[in-house]
Homo-oligomer: A and B are copies of this chain.
Amino acid sequence: MNASNHTYRPEPLRMTNQRKGILEEVQKARQHLTADEVYELVRKKQPRISLSTVYRNLEKMADAGILARLELSGNQRRYDWNTDMHHHARCVRCGAVRDVPVDAGVELDLGSQAINGFAVSGFRLEFKGICEKCR
């Protein structure tokens, strides 16, 4: 996890059943899942998988860029199959989280100037509101 002196070789990721199962569930979910939601799903097919394996793999795959880690403010970590740049909207009523394409009516102009002395390298944008279903 550390590019030390000069030869940084990323750990190869072995394709274990557990890994495969976890990846499948995250990718076919239409929701952004928490670790234990993934656990419950994978468990149906691999009853002996352990929760820590799920945690470890979600983290590892997120590090590898296979999945996206989703850390909404004040909430449990979730994992997302969509690794493209996008924002999120959370329904304050039912808690559902939906993706928001970067261009969906949102115009964010950072200019090139630093904000408050910061050299800004990125930002995250999170909407809240009421989803279609809830109104």
Chain A residues with a Cβ under 8 A of chain B: 69, 71-74, 77, 89, 91-92, 98-101, 104-111, 113-132, 135
Contacts and interface: CB of A to CB of B under 8 A. Distances in A.
A121 B110 contact: no
B124 A100 contact: no
A132 B129 CA distance: 35
Contacts of A89: 115-116, 118, 120
Given A109-B106, A115-B89, A73 B129 contact: no
B107 A132 contact: no
A126 B74 CA distance: 13
B110 A118 contact: no
A118 B94 CA distance: 12
